[in-house]
Structure 1
Amino acid sequence: MTNTDCWISISENSDFSIHNIPFGIFSTKSNTLRAGVAIGDQILDLVVASELGVFNSLDFNPYVFESKTLNDFIALGKEITSKVRTIIQEELTNVDSVLKTDSSVFVNQKEVQMHLPVFVGDYTDFYSSIEHATNVGTMFRDPNNALLPNWKHIPVGYHGRASSIIVSGVDVHRPMGQTIAPDAKEPTYGPSKRVDFELEMAYIIGKKTSLGDTVKVENAEEYIFGKVLFNDWSARDIQKWEYVPLGPFLAKNFASSISPWIVTMDALEPFKVAGPEQTPKVLPYLEYKGERNYDIELQVAIKSESGEETVVSNSNFKYMYWNMAQQLAHHTMNGCNINVGDMMGSGTISGKSTDSYGSMLELSWAGKNPIQLKDGTQRTFIADNDTVVMRGFCQKDGKKVGFGEVKTKLLPAKQ
Structure 2
Amino acid sequence: MEAMKSWLDIDRDSHFSIHNIPFGIVSTKAKSQPHPATAIGGYALDLQIFSQNNGFASLSIIQPHQAVFSQPTLNAFAALGRPMHRVVREYLQSVLLANGPFPQILRDNQILRNAALIPLKDCQTHLPLQIGDYTDFYAGLHHAYNVGVLFRGPQNALQPNYKHLPVGYHGRASSVVVSGTPIRRPNGQILSNPAAEPKQPVMSPSRKMDIELELGCFVCKPSALGEPVSIDDAPQHLFGVVLMNDWSARDIQAWEYVPLGPFNSKNFGTSISPWIVLMDALEPYAAVGIHNDVKLMPYLDEGDRKSHFAIDLSVTLTTATGNTSTISRTSAKNLLFSFPQMLAHHTIGGCPFNVGDLMGSGTISGETKAEKGCLLEQTENGKVEIELEGGERRKFLEDGDVVSITGCCGKQGALVGFGECTGRLEPAVQLKGSSPV
Scaled by the length of structure 2, what TM-score is found?
Answer: 0.93
1:354 to 358, 363, 369: 369
Aligned counterparts, 1:175-254, within 5 A:
175-180=186-191, 181-184=193-196, 185-254=199-268
Shift in Å, 1:272 = 0.6
2:410 aligned residue: 395
Mark the CA change 1:54 to 1:205 in structure 2 (over 3 Å): closer, same or farther: same
2:143 aligned residue: 132
Q: Does 1:292 align with 2:307?
A: yes
Amino acid at match of 1:335: G
Shift in Å, 1:61 = 2.4
1:321 aligned residue: 336
2:177 aligned residue: 166
1:37 aligned residue: 38
2:355 aligned residue: 340
**Root-mean-square deviation (CA), in Å?**
1.4
Q: Deviations over 1:338-379 (max 9, x none)?
A: 011000000000100111011000011111121111022100
Q: Could you tell which deviates more after superposition, 307-316 or 181-190?
A: 181-190
Shift in Å, 1:2 = 7.0
Shift in Å, 1:402 = 0.3
2:154 aligned residue: 143
Shift in Å, 1:5 = 2.5
Q: Could you tell which deviates more after superposition, 262-271 or 213-222?
A: 213-222
Shift in Å, 1:53 = 1.8
1: CA distance, partners of 2:210 / 2:166 = 23
Asked whether the equivalents of residues 244 and 270 of structure 2 are also in contact (C-alpha less than 8 Å), the reply is: yes
2: CA distance, partners of 1:10 / 1:304 = 31
Q: Does 1:104 align with 2:109?
A: no
Scaled by the length of structure 1, what TM-score is found?
Answer: 0.97
Q: Deviations over 1:273-325 (max 9, x none)?
A: 12222112111111112212111110001000011210000011101011111
2: CA distance, partners of 1:3 / 1:117 = 28
Shift in Å, 1:243 = 0.1
1: CA distance, partners of 2:410 / 2:5 = 18
Asked whether the equivalents of residues 23 and 39 of structure 2 are also in contact (C-alpha less than 8 Å), the reply is: yes
SS of the residue corresponding to residue 391 of structure 2 reads: coil
1:380 aligned residue: 395
2: CA distance, partners of 1:300 / 1:401 = 18
Mark the CA change 1:76 to 1:351 in structure 2 (over 3 Å): closer, same or farther: same
Asked whether the equivalents of residues 298 and 391 of structure 1 are also in contact (C-alpha less than 8 Å), the reply is: yes
Shift in Å, 1:144 = 1.7
SS of the residue corresponding to residue 140 of structure 1 reads: helix
Amino acid at match of 1:182: P
Q: Deviations over 1:53-80 (max 9, x none)?
A: 2324124321211111000111111222
1: CA distance, partners of 2:4 / 2:360 = 35
Q: Deviations over 1:81-113 (max 9, x none)?
A: 211111100000137232232211100000111
1: CA distance, partners of 2:187 / 2:133 = 24
2:72 aligned residue: 68
Shift in Å, 1:142 = 2.2
Asked whether the equivalents of residues 11 and 413 of structure 2 are also in contact (C-alpha less than 8 Å), the reply is: no
SS of the residue corresponding to residue 306 of structure 2 reads: coil
1:26 aligned residue: 26
1: CA distance, partners of 2:61 / 2:116 = 19
Q: Does 1:81 align with 2:88?
A: no
Q: Could you tell which deviates more after superposition, 256-265 or 214-223?
A: 214-223
1: CA distance, partners of 2:335 / 2:219 = 19
2:163 to 144, 148, 152: 152
Shift in Å, 1:4 = 6.5
What 5-or-longer segments of structure 1 have no aligned partner? none
Q: Does 1:121 align with 2:137?
A: no
1: CA distance, partners of 2:393 / 2:253 = 23
2: CA distance, partners of 1:146 / 1:8 = 52
2:16 aligned residue: 16
Amino acid at match of 2:210: D
Q: Deviations over 1:247-272 (max 9, x none)?
A: 01000000000000000000000001
2: CA distance, partners of 1:194 / 1:276 = 29
1: CA distance, partners of 2:179 / 2:289 = 29
Shift in Å, 1:397 = 9.2
1: CA distance, partners of 2:183 / 2:2 = 39
Amino acid at match of 1:110: K
1: CA distance, partners of 2:347 / 2:188 = 33
* Identical columns (%): 47
2:49 aligned residue: 48
2:324 to 297, 303, 309: 309
Asked whether the equivalents of residues 12 and 414 of structure 2 are also in contact (C-alpha less than 8 Å), the reply is: no
Asked whether the equivalents of residues 12 and 413 of structure 2 are also in contact (C-alpha less than 8 Å), the reply is: no
2: CA distance, partners of 1:110 / 1:137 = 43
2: CA distance, partners of 1:24 / 1:7 = 22
Q: Could you tell which deviates more after superposition, 158-167 or 93-102?
A: 93-102
Shift in Å, 1:183 = 2.5
Shift in Å, 1:153 = 0.8
Mark the CA change 1:325 to 1:396 in structure 2 (over 3 Å): closer, same or farther: farther
2: CA distance, partners of 1:249 / 1:340 = 25
Asked whether the equivalents of residues 297 and 392 of structure 1 are also in contact (C-alpha less than 8 Å), the reply is: yes
Asked whether the equivalents of residues 2 and 18 of structure 1 are also in contact (C-alpha less than 8 Å), the reply is: no
